[in-house]
Amino acid sequence: MTMTDVSAATRARWLAVSSVAVGTFTIVTSEMLPVGLLTSIAAALDVSDGTAGLMMSVPGLVAAVSAPVLAITTRRLDRRVTLLGLMALLAVANLTGAFAPNYPVMLAARVLTGVSIGGFWAFAAGLGLRLVPEGSVGRATSIILAGVSVASVLGVPVATFISSFAGWRTAFIAMGALALALLALLAATLPPLPGEPRARASEPLPHEAPAHASEGQLAWLSGPLGVVLVLTVLIVSGHFAAYTYVRPFLEQVSHAGPALVSTALLLYGAAGVAGNFAAGARAARNPKPVLVALAVLMALSTAALPLIGLPLIGLPLIVLVVWGLGYGGVGVTLQLWIMRSGGGEMGTALFVGAFNVSIALGSFAGGRVVDGVSISAVMWVGAALAVAGAATAVISGRSGTTGS
């Protein structure tokens, strides 16, 4: 094989990695879509803000179940075929949501979204090992997982921006069109990925899990892996208890109009992207102190928002940006901690399950607080769970279980 052939093959593999990264961005953006559109959808489909929050809870719960179930039931299928099928399902889900005539149809569409999220994220996270040479696996995995982190902080502002000019249905149509375009891109760039690849001759990198975990590795649920899963539930559920209802909070408490809300969420998203890369660089060495710092930032900012009050300029906007900076680094930090804890594809599936259960629990609990107490009270719930997450991380270090 000539150098030109080798160079072309290398470029093709990295193009596949980039395509999968766009895929993770697309599925998580689709999951987050209702957050910035909540009040508009609730009004159009004639439900309360708290009930509308089920659009976040339902796909989160479905994804939590579908991740481990699909990891087991499709283990013999070519991963390329599986990923293409899941992306096609996502396109159908988004387009169904765009034209939903009532709330039950919207929830049915969100169930399909949850299946796609759970399977695609769980399989995509481990593809770096199979797409690039051994020495580049860490970089490839970071690129793929960056799609999740960036979507978590940019997806909502972008959707809100689109809806402010063309309506919430247009935002769903845009995500459906993106999923269809990505389906074609994945079909063109992904090589065959047999469900049960032969064992690699070399050992995995020290910070990575083996390609497939043994049954005994599930015992780690009482060790480092279990700690990360608990932290995931506390911090992510706290975030989504508050963040799912950030738009009605800004509208009702800060009296911000649609344009100001869109601008505020875009700034939040930009801060989140910065937090993602800043935290990733530091968490690669030791994720625990990074996670503690991020949780503290989230707790301080969510507690400060209802205390500051209105209007949404100056200090309140700065606090919202600090929240974005804190949460932006949470995803990549937890992912790096999971990689250091091990567990293989099943460990990744458990993490995806915990993450999505947390989204569901947080948005559901937040909805009950919004409907039963007040929109401001939900921010205190987010702050309390962030504090609990930080305390749990500190205590886990004292007991000898660290992220080092």
DSSP conformation letters of 97-129: HHT-SSHHHHHHHHHHHHHHHHHHHHHHTTTHH
Percent of the chain with pLDDT over 90: 25
Predicted pLDDT at 138:
64
Predicted pLDDT at 208:
42
pLDDT score of 314 more than 60 = yes
User: Across residues 359-376, what is the average pLDDT?
Assistant: 85
Q: Calculate ∠ Cα 358-364-366, nearest 5°.
A: 100
Predicted pLDDT at 388:
94
User: Across residues 4-20, what is the average pLDDT?
Assistant: 77
pLDDT score of 230 more than 50 = yes
Report how far apart, in Å, the C-alpha atoms of 218 and of each of 63, 159, 185 are.
20, 38, 35
pLDDT score of 205 more than 60 = no
User: Across residues 74-86, what is the average pLDDT?
Assistant: 87
Predicted pLDDT at 196:
60
The winner for highest mean pLDDT among 4-8, 133-137, 175-179 is 175-179
Mean pLDDT of the chain: 80
Residue that wins the pLDDT comparison between 88 and 125: 88
- Residue 241: is it exposed, middle or buried by C-beta count within 10 angstroms (0-12/13-18/19+)? buried
Question: Which of 250, 196, 224 shows the shortest CA–CA distance to 342?
Answer: 224
Confidence of residue 52 (pLDDT cuts 50, 70, 90): confident
Q: Are 243 and 264 in contact (CB under 8 A)?
A: no
Predicted pLDDT at 403:
46
pLDDT score of 28 more than 90 = no
Predicted pLDDT at 292:
94
Q: Are 228 and 351 in contact (CB under 8 A)?
A: yes
Percent of the chain with pLDDT over 70: 84
The winner for highest mean pLDDT among 47-51, 113-117, 272-276 is 113-117
Q: Tell me the C-alpha distance between 404 and 393, whole Å.
A: 12
pLDDT score of 213 more than 50 = no
User: Across residues 386-390, what is the average pLDDT?
Assistant: 94
Q: Tell me the C-alpha distance between 325 and 177, whole Å.
A: 30
Q: Tell me the C-alpha distance between 396 and 390, whole Å.
A: 10
Q: Tell me the C-alpha distance between 342 and 403, whole Å.
A: 11
Predicted pLDDT at 398:
56
Confidence of residue 12 (pLDDT cuts 50, 70, 90): confident
User: Across residues 62-88, what is the average pLDDT?
Assistant: 87
Q: List the single range of 97-101, 140-144, 231-235 with lowest mean pLDDT.
A: 140-144
User: Across residues 335-343, what is the average pLDDT?
Assistant: 71
Q: Tell me the C-alpha distance between 391 and 383, whole Å.
A: 12
Residue with tokens 């995803």: 331
> Residue 162: in which H helix or E strand, if any?
helix 137-166
Q: Tell me the C-alpha distance between 261 and 36, whole Å.
A: 9
Q: What is the pLDDT of residues 153-187, one digit of tens each?
A: 677 777 777 887 888 899 999 999 999 999 999 99
Predicted pLDDT at 245:
85
Q: Calculate ∠ Cα 295-236-347, nearest 5°.
A: 110
Q: Where are the alpha helices (DSSP H) in 253-376?
A: 258-283, 287-308, 315-328, 330-341, 344-372
Predicted pLDDT at 49:
78
Return the biggest CA–CA distance within the chain: 69
User: Across residues 333-349, what is the average pLDDT?
Assistant: 72
pLDDT score of 400 more than 70 = no
pLDDT score of 17 more than 80 = yes
Predicted pLDDT at 152:
67
Q: Tell me the C-alpha distance between 40 and 199, whole Å.
A: 51
- Residue 132: is it exposed, middle or buried by C-beta count within 10 angstroms (0-12/13-18/19+)? buried
pLDDT score of 141 more than 60 = yes
Residue that wins the pLDDT comparison between 254 and 302: 302
Q: Are 232 and 394 in contact (CB under 8 A)?
A: no
Report how far apart, in Å, the C-alpha atoms of 85 and of each of 80, 90, 178 are.
9, 9, 15
